[in-house]
Amino acid sequence: MIRDATQDDIPEIRAMIRELAAYERAVEQARATEEQLREALFGERPAAHVVIAEDDGSGEVVGFALWFPRFSTWTGTRGMHLEDLYVRPQARGAGHGKALLATLAAICTRSGYERFEWWVLGWNRPTIDFYKSLGVELLEEWKVCRLSGGPLEELAAQAPVATESG
């Protein structure tokens, strides 16, 4: 079963984020607190949305997908960015990942979004193969750019005019 997350799911969401980070060999980077997640997902201006996968028999939370809208200047339309998709190891192969992605695809089409995009680590062959089985197009020519920490602060200090955007 797939359902929208509630505030009661915050501890499970945070736990699965940490499990995903451990799988991706970056657990030290998963620093989000329950309070931060509560504000980001259920605050006055939610930054993201989450759907939860539950085991049909036990009702146990076995996975989640966290997404947020994006905008394409080329198409002039909104799209969806999938930030995290995770299914717990004991529940893999039972269709939960596909059900989560199908739910997000339905949200996309219902919302008039033209694109549904996300990133995958190049070494994660089982996941890449799963995505390919769904007809996903891998955009090999694009590279992810990230500015954070000291370099972000240094560039921000060079801004000619302070802005209040966002």
- Whole-number pLDDT of residue 165: 64
Cα–Cα distance, 155 to 150 (Å, whole number): 9
Cβ within 8 Å of residue 59, ≥6 positions away = none
Which one is predicted more confidently, 104 or 147? 104
Cα–Cα distance, 163 to 151 (Å, whole number): 18
Q: Please tell me which of 38-42, 127-131, 157-161 the model is most confident about, judged by mean pLDDT.
A: 38-42
Instruction: For residue 83, give the amino acid letter.
Output: E
Residue 102: which pLDDT band, with cuts at 50, 70 and 90?
Answer: very high
Q: What is the mean pLDDT of residues 74-83?
A: 94
DSSP reduced 3-state for 131: helix
Cα–Cα distance, 134 to 97 (Å, whole number): 11
- Whole-number pLDDT of residue 163: 62
DSSP reduced 3-state for 2: strand
Query: Model's pTM, two decimal places?
Result: 0.89
Backbone angles phi, psi at 146, to 5 degrees: -140, 135
DSSP reduced 3-state for 82: strand
DSSP reduced 3-state for 86: strand
Residue 166: which pLDDT band, with cuts at 50, 70 and 90?
Answer: low
Say which CATH topology domain 2-157 has.
Answer: Aminopeptidase (3.40.630)
Domain extents in the chain: 2-157
Active site residue 131: yes
Backbone angles phi, psi at 64, to 5 degrees: -155, 160
Q: What is the mean pLDDT of residues 63-81?
A: 95
Q: What is the mean pLDDT of residues 77-87?
A: 96
- Of these residues, 23, 86, 113, 131, which one is catalytic? 131
- Whole-number pLDDT of residue 162: 60
- Whole-number pLDDT of residue 134: 93
State pLDDT tens for residues 21-59.
999 999 999 999 999 999 999 999 999 999 999 998 899
Cα angle value 153/156/159 (rounded, 5°)? 160
